[in-house]
Amino acid sequence: NLRFCTEAGVDSTCILVWKMVFTCVLVGSFSALRAGGARALLANLGIAPCHTFALVMCQMAVNLGFTLALTLASAAKVLLLLSLNPLWSALLGSVALKEVLPCRTVCALSTALLGIALIYVPVIATGREADAGGADESLGDALAFTAGVGLALSVTVIRCASFRAPTANLEGASALSAACTALVFCAAKRFTGIMPEDAGFDAGRPVWQFWLVIFADAACVSALYVALSWVPSRIPGPEVGLIMLLEV
């Protein structure tokens, strides 16, 4: 998605705004349908207001932190810091939820962290990018670290809610976080230049290609959000993070 749109000349902010808008619509529609209507969904979110607010903030940190980090630091370092989220999930689960990890999970987590180190550390050590350095690179590292912790916090919040408010529907919180993220990016652009034609989209290509690619990407992100709202209630946070590392 990002590569296709950037090759077509589209500004990354435009891509992210519409990706988050479609994600909000898809996740919100699915959540409302499952809850029995928009009013029922809002009432359901009120069952666990603190968890809902925390989840919105955590997912916004992931959306904003990961995106901005890629513009400031090397991709390898950003992915390394984000991939540490199973470790943070284990620490948060141990401290906040008093969970004791099974031996199999500890072994899998150790193996995964070793694999991450073998993949990314040599790249970072030998392939420092010339255009990312100094204060900007440090800020990018901090944002990537924040995104990884935010992802672990999201999983922990959902798992905590499954114990304390099992009837709460936190899918709606994911829709809210997508909407808030879109608003932040729109505000950063002062609500101008967010249409593909105004954001540099190649006039030689039909604009429907942009909308199709963005919608497909948003559908994938929506599926991830919905899965994340269900899975942590059934398995520990570190196992969720380890499964997500399969894409790496």
| Predicted pLDDT at 240 | 87
Average pLDDT over residues 190-216: 79
* Orientation angle between helical segments 75-82 and 134-164, nearest 10 degrees: 20
Residue 130, pLDDT above cutoff 60: no
Instruction: Please work out, in degrees rounded to the nearest 5, the angle formed at the alpha carbon of residue 11 by the alpha carbons of 8 and 17.
Output: 115
Residue 129, pLDDT above cutoff 70: no
Query: Which amino acid belongs to residue 221?
Result: V
**What percentage of residues in the chain have a pLDDT greater than 70?**
90
- Distances 215 to 110, 166, 209, 219 between C-alpha atoms, Å: 37, 31, 10, 6
List, for residues 164-177, the tens digit of each pLDDT value: 888 888 888 999 99
| Predicted pLDDT at 58 | 95
| Predicted pLDDT at 199 | 64
Instruction: Provide the pLDDT confidence category of residue 124 given band limits of 50, 70 and 90.
Output: low
- Break the chain into its structural domains and give their ranges: 2-247
Q: Do residues 226 and 27 make contact, with C-beta atoms less than 8 angstroms apart?
A: yes
Q: What are the structure tokens assigned to 236, written together?
A: 């520990």
Q: Do residues 20 and 12 make contact, with C-beta atoms less than 8 angstroms apart?
A: no
Average pLDDT over residues 63-77: 81
Burial readout 199-214 (b: 16 or more C-beta within 10 A, e: otherwise) = bebeeeeeeeebeebb
Of 38-42, 176-180, 213-217, which has the strongest mean pLDDT?
A: 176-180
| Predicted pLDDT at 153 | 94
What DSSP character marks residue 245?
G
